[in-house]
Structure 1
Amino acid sequence: MLYKLLKFKIGMVHNNMLKFEFHPVGQGLFYSGSISNDMDSAFKFVYDIGSIRKDRLDIEIEKYAEPLKNIHYVFLSHIDYDHVSGLIKLKSELADKGGRIENIVMPYARELDDLYIYLNKIFGESNIVLVTKNQDDDQETVEIFEEAQVTKIDAATLSEEVSKKATWEFHFYYVKGKYKEKFRTKRWPFDKFFEDPQNWNNDSIKLLRLYFHTWFKNNAAATNDSSLIMLHRPSNSVDQKETLLTGDSNWKKAANLEEYKKWIMNIKHVNRVDVFQLPHHGAYYNNPTYSNVLSFAKNVVVTYGTYNKFHHPDQEVEDYWEDHSDRLHEVTEKADTRYEYDI
């Protein structure tokens, strides 16, 4: 069954307007959430907003943004085209109504300092929030950050701040990958590109991706490994109502998996998450196919394009989760594969 509407009852929260959705955008990921007692005060967030299929992505963004003015948070698991390509489209849809994305959050790596500054130039009306693994990581402040709306925060503090604003429990974590080189914009004509606002169109993110194609190609593994992972659930709930979103993170690498295990074990009452997004579209090299902490998932969701050159998802990975979850949901570019659930 590719589509299913799930409804749950929670002892701690009653009559809430809660909706979470994996949008059918093909090869990529677009996940959205709404947490509220009423529509006017809804806490709106997005986790990744990109796809290889621009046509399907645009349709989903327009539909999603139509009733909205502002979005509290857009969380980007990592900077890769099929996870961020819809960001400017979303910005434009909100701006047409006088709205904005209040906060754009992504994992921090000092090798990407130049990129963060230029993203700030595109999204100057939004707070750019860079997440470090913990308080001891990357404590130095980049001087130019002080002049821009760019701030750094550790994952634990971010978890507390977002949870307080949303009256919902959020937990963030990531394992920083090993980059081969620093990201240097001086090699490209970025100043010229950004000096004219007319250049900031819906293809800007794609152009950025093309400019840095060689860099990303050489550092693809580190970029994916550095995906910001999010777990969200009702506050004070001991029920199995968690959703775990993983971006393109690597759960097959033994060292990473051990860190993820420790992180999950430190979150109280997490025994079996209800919804688990399969890392990296079900890629073989990112997903273990043996019994481990991942066997706790009830509903497993894999997002991918029906026709993709990467052969996602891997058949062995899918077979494993068919046997080790209550249900495997495939979300592609086809509208009837939309996976949404409320709590």
Structure 2
Amino acid sequence: MSSKFKLCNAGQGLFYTGEINLSNRETFKFIYDCGGNNISGAINQHITQGDVIDMLVISHFDDDHINGLPNLFNKVSKIKRIFIPYYRGKEDYLLLMAYVYGNGATFDKVDEIVLVSISEKIEDERDELKDFNEIEIKDFHDIDGYRLPNTKIKKIGNTVLSVEGKWIFKFYNARISTDINTIILDIDNLISNNNCKDLEELLKRNLNAAKVGLRTIYSNYCSSKYNNSKQNQSSLCLYHAPIKKETSGIHLMLDNGVRFGCYFEIYRFGTMLTGDISLKTKKKTENYYDFIKRYEKEAYNTGIFLLPHHGANNNWNSLILEDFMRTPIFLNSSGINNRFKHPGSMVIKELQNNGRIVCFANEYLMVEYYI
């Protein structure tokens, strides 16, 4: 039985889902990002009431990648693990918390939040292959004083996750140096101003003033005032693929109310998901070189590549066409007539001139494929 993947019709944003068929007719369900100007419609269309989500990956915390979380949390019955980037202490975790609680939702249906930290030297990495359900993730004490009610907070490093020995998931996030700690100070002030001893007490008391305060903190922190381009650069990338070689090609569907299907006889079944990361680089010390070191082996097996930052010219690197020379299909998620002019015409022209297939998702069109 085929596994199914969708780049959903979220509009200007990103909402990607996967359903991997396992033994005993069970299905491993995962989501990569959950935001966009049509995210409510996309969630209603693609998520069933009471679903159990095994894994939710948040690439970064811009509104167009997470504004569907309150809706998603209300609709599903459980999310086993949320994976978020971790590169500068508590800030990323607190930013996610501020958005969710600031918009009236909670993490009550979430078992664990896992912070993903990649080692300082990519070339020195030794990946550990661990089963998703059996992996032991150590409790994370650096966030003591900022814990959430009823949710465990943990951390992993260079672990590659497998699902029943059938599918693998491999993470990467850029190493960004920054001294921004404004969000910690603002949350500390919010806690003390509401006469609470810690964040957990503040959240349990469910104060309206706290919600307004957290929503304001999120908005301030993600504004240009705090150089939120670093949020994009630190996007948590995810490669996923079957472990064993498949014997059939990829069945690709485009759907805007009238389904159009096509079949590709390709035998590289990995998918590369890139969030809003910038892969443009001029020096060998910058993001792209770390990215390709991390995915050097996977590049050969990648059949589908999600264009970073909705296909923006400023995030694209022509070296991708060399390093992923066997990747025939590129995906793009952006809104129709969006003010950012995504995707960039330069990127699309270069892909087409090199014989690559580009598939688009927007408010009305989704891309669905089967492996």
Please state how far the C-alpha of 1:18 moved relative to its aligned partner.
Answer: 0.8
SS in 1 for 2:332: strand
CA distance 1:78–1:145, change in 2 (3 Å)? farther
Distance 1:332 1:166 in 2: 34
Higher normalized contact order (CA 8 Å, seq sep 6+, divided by chain length): 1
Superposed counterparts of 1:299-310, under 5 Å: 299-310=329-340
SS in 1 for 2:269: coil
CA distance 1:24–1:328, change in 2 (3 Å)? same
Is structure 2 residue 310 aligned with structure 1 residue 281? yes
Q: Which moved more, 1:117-126 or 1:163-172?
A: 117-126
Larger Rg: 2
SS in 2 for 1:142: helix
CA distance 1:264–1:186, change in 2 (3 Å)? closer
Q: Which amino acid aligns with 2:107?
A: F
Please state how far the C-alpha of 1:194 moved relative to its aligned partner.
Answer: 4.0
SS in 2 for 1:301: strand
Aligned 8 A contact 1:80 1:209 in 2: no
1:191-212 deviation per Cα after TM superposition (whole angstroms, max 9, x unaligned): 4584554859x99997664243
Match of 1:178 in 2: 177
Aligned residues: 310
Aligned 8 A contact 2:61 2:96 in 1: no
Distance 1:311 1:100 in 2: 37
Match of 1:35 in 2: 20
Please state how far the C-alpha of 1:150 moved relative to its aligned partner.
Answer: 1.0
Please state how far the C-alpha of 1:43 moved relative to its aligned partner.
Answer: 0.3
SS in 2 for 1:63: helix
Please state how far the C-alpha of 1:74 moved relative to its aligned partner.
Answer: 0.5
Match of 2:66 in 1: 84
Match of 1:339 in 2: 367
SS in 1 for 2:346: helix
- Decide which structure has greater helix share: 1
Aligned 8 A contact 2:140 2:153 in 1: no
Match of 2:47 in 1: 65
Please state how far the C-alpha of 1:59 moved relative to its aligned partner.
Answer: 1.4
1:221-279 deviation per Cα after TM superposition (whole angstroms, max 9, x unaligned): 21111111111111132840111000001111242111122122244xx4152111000
Match of 1:7 in 2: none
Q: Which amino acid aligns with 1:58?
A: S
SS in 2 for 1:103: strand
Superposed counterparts of 1:126-275, under 5 Å: 126=110, 127-134=112-119, 141-144=141-144, 148=148, 149-154=152-157, 156-157=158-159, 159-160=160-161, 163-164=162-163, 167-187=166-186, 190-191=190-191, 194=203, 197=206, 209-214=218-223, 217-237=225-245, 239-254=267-282, 255-267=286-298, 270-275=299-304
TM-score w.r.t. the length of structure 2 is: 0.74
Superposed counterparts of 1:39-118, under 5 Å: 41-51=26-36, 53=37, 56-66=38-48, 68-94=50-76, 99-108=77-86, 109-110=88-89, 112=91, 114-115=94-95, 118=98
Which residue of 315, 326, 337 maps to 2:345?
A: 315
CA distance 1:326–1:179, change in 2 (3 Å)? same
CA distance 1:141–1:296, change in 2 (3 Å)? farther
Please state how far the C-alpha of 1:86 moved relative to its aligned partner.
Answer: 0.5
Q: Which runs of 5+ in 1 are unaligned?
A: 1-15
Please state how far the C-alpha of 1:318 moved relative to its aligned partner.
Answer: 1.0
Q: Which amino acid aligns with 2:144?
A: I
CA distance 1:318–1:145, change in 2 (3 Å)? farther
Q: Which amino acid aligns with 1:123?
A: F
Match of 2:264 in 1: none
Distance 2:12 2:146 in 1: 36
Q: Which moved more, 1:23-32 or 1:305-314?
A: 305-314
Is structure 2 residue 8 aligned with structure 1 residue 23? yes
Distance 1:324 1:25 in 2: 28
CA distance 1:116–1:90, change in 2 (3 Å)? closer
Distance 2:140 2:7 in 1: 37
Aligned 8 A contact 2:140 2:155 in 1: no
Match of 1:5 in 2: none
Q: Which runs of 5+ in 2 are unaligned?
A: 123-138, 195-201, 247-266
Aligned 8 A contact 2:61 2:95 in 1: no
- Decide which structure has greater strand share: 2
Please state how far the C-alpha of 1:293 moved relative to its aligned partner.
Answer: 1.4
Please state how far the C-alpha of 1:326 moved relative to its aligned partner.
Answer: 3.0
Aligned 8 A contact 1:145 1:151 in 2: no
CA distance 1:310–1:60, change in 2 (3 Å)? same
Please state how far the C-alpha of 1:306 moved relative to its aligned partner.
Answer: 1.1
Q: Which amino acid aligns with 2:347?
A: V
Distance 1:120 1:166 in 2: 33
Aligned 8 A contact 2:166 2:244 in 1: no
Q: CA RMSD in A?
A: 3.2
Distance 2:315 2:61 in 1: 17
Distance 2:181 2:15 in 1: 28
Q: Which moved more, 1:185-194 or 1:102-111?
A: 185-194
Aligned 8 A contact 1:177 1:221 in 2: no
Over the matched positions of the two proteins, sequence identity in percent amounts to 25
Distance 1:287 1:204 in 2: 36
CA distance 1:135–1:263, change in 2 (3 Å)? closer
CA distance 1:37–1:204, change in 2 (3 Å)? farther
